[in-house]
């Protein structure tokens, strides 16, 4: 997917974002050190905040709460503004009985950037747009509806709860695509309305660049959906949008922010010295 092979020194020089590597041992120890009392507090908060799936057991919920607490400790101890996690690595390690799906969504909601599959570029982009536009969410162009002229935006388990339409659901997930134990995950559809899509990526000549476009989130709920998701209609004709996005070298992970934020993105590009392509 191209999300792993990033020259971190170059990325730091062009964007100012510094990458820290967190060892599995550090994360595992933080999760193992989470107290039962703190985990039960999170479970009680979840019960008040979400609709809880019937098949999510108490022990699975507690394990997910400890995964959240461990991740929060690492983010706090290291002063991280964004995180990029590849769940499969955790899922194949027996030290992680649950994966921090719910914890990532809560951190996103609190302003911490995120990138899936170790994608530090999207993690930095989501964090930057959250700071500049007030809040942002991480998502992915999942599949296209050419007849409807829209895109289903969804990733495995992550989204800003402030974008949710209605009360989110806490669901049970069987790990990460064939690895990892049962974990609690938060599912919801996004509020409809105008948004700006922003992609921070690396193009030809190892130049970091921005791609942006305005769009509309349509009213849509995926039946039985287990992820944060929405149906996004670009303001430009879908096929023209996709042609332009691919031409400019857009990657599949993006940030969404509410409203038309193109002036903000333009100023960000100017101050950062990044090339901006507006679709």
pLDDT of residue 181: 85
Q: Count how many domains the chain has.
A: 1
The 10s digit of each residue's pLDDT in 133-166 is 999 999 999 999 999 999 999 999 999 999 999 9
State the DSSP H helix or E strand holding residue 217, giving kind and residue range, or none if neither.
strand 208-218
Is the model's pLDDT at 88 over the cut of 70?
yes
pLDDT of residue 108: 98
Rounded Cα distance, 154 and 194, in Å: 17
Residue 222 binned pLDDT confidence (cut-offs 50, 70, 90) = confident
* 274: in domain: no
Residue 229 binned pLDDT confidence (cut-offs 50, 70, 90) = very high
* 60: in domain: yes
* 219: in domain: yes
CATH number at residue 153: 3.20.14
Residue 206 binned pLDDT confidence (cut-offs 50, 70, 90) = confident
Is the model's pLDDT at 27 over the cut of 60?
yes
* 85: in domain: yes
Range of the domain at 72: 8-269
Is the model's pLDDT at 4 over the cut of 90?
no
- 3-state SS assignment for residue 183: strand
pLDDT of residue 205: 83
What average pLDDT does range 48-54 have in this prediction?
Answer: 97
* 231: in domain: yes
Is the model's pLDDT at 2 over the cut of 70?
no
Q: What percent of the chain has pLDDT over 90?
A: 89
* 275: in domain: no
* Total-model pTM: 0.95
Residue 3 binned pLDDT confidence (cut-offs 50, 70, 90) = low
pLDDT of residue 1: 53
Query: CB 182: neighbour CB atoms within 10 A?
Result: 20
What average pLDDT does range 86-96 have in this prediction?
Answer: 92
The 10s digit of each residue's pLDDT in 97-142 is 999 999 999 999 999 999 999 999 999 999 999 999 999 999 999 9
Rounded Cα distance, 248 and 246, in Å: 5
pLDDT of residue 80: 97
Cβ(270)–Cβ(155) under 8 Å? no
Task: Give the DSSP letter string of 49-66.
Answer: HSEEPTT--HHHHHHHHH
The 10s digit of each residue's pLDDT in 166-189 is 999 999 999 887 778 899 999 999
* 276: in domain: no
* 102: in domain: yes
């Amino acid at each position: 997917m191209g999300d792993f092979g990033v020259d971190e020194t170059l990325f730091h020089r062009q964007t100012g974002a510094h990458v820290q590597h967190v060892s599995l041992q550090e994360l595992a120890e933080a999760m193992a050190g989470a107290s039962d009392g703190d985990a039960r507090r999170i479970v009680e908060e979840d019960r008040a905040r979400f609709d809880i799936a019937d098949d999510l057991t108490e022990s699975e919920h507690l394990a997910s709460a400890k995964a959240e607490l461990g991740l929060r400790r690492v983010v706090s101890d290291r002063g991280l503004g964004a995180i990029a996690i590849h769940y499969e690595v955790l899922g194949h390690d027996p030290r992680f009985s649950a994966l921090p799906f719910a914890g990532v969504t809560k951190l996103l909601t609190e302003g911490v950037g995120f990138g899936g599959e170790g994608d530090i570029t999207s993690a930095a982009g989501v964090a930057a747009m959250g700071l500049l536009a007030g809040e942002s969410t991480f998502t992915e162009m999942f599949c296209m509806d050419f007849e409807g002229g829209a895109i289903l935006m969804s990733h495995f388990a992550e989204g800003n709860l402030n974008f949710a339409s209605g009360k989110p659901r806490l669901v049970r997930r069987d790990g990460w695509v064939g690895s990892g134990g049962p974990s609690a995950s938060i599912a919801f559809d996004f509020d409809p309305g105008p948004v700006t899509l922003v992609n921070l990526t690396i193009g030809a000549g190892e130049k970091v660049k921005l791609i942006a476009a305005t769009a509309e989130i349509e009213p849509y709920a995926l039946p039985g959906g287990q992820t944060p998701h929405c149906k996004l209609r670009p303001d430009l004709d879908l096929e023209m949008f996709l042609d332009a996005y691919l031409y400019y070298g857009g990657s599949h992970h993006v940030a969404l922010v509410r409203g038309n934020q193109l002036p903000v993105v333009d100023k960000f590009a100017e101050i950062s010295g990044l090339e901006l392509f507006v679709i």
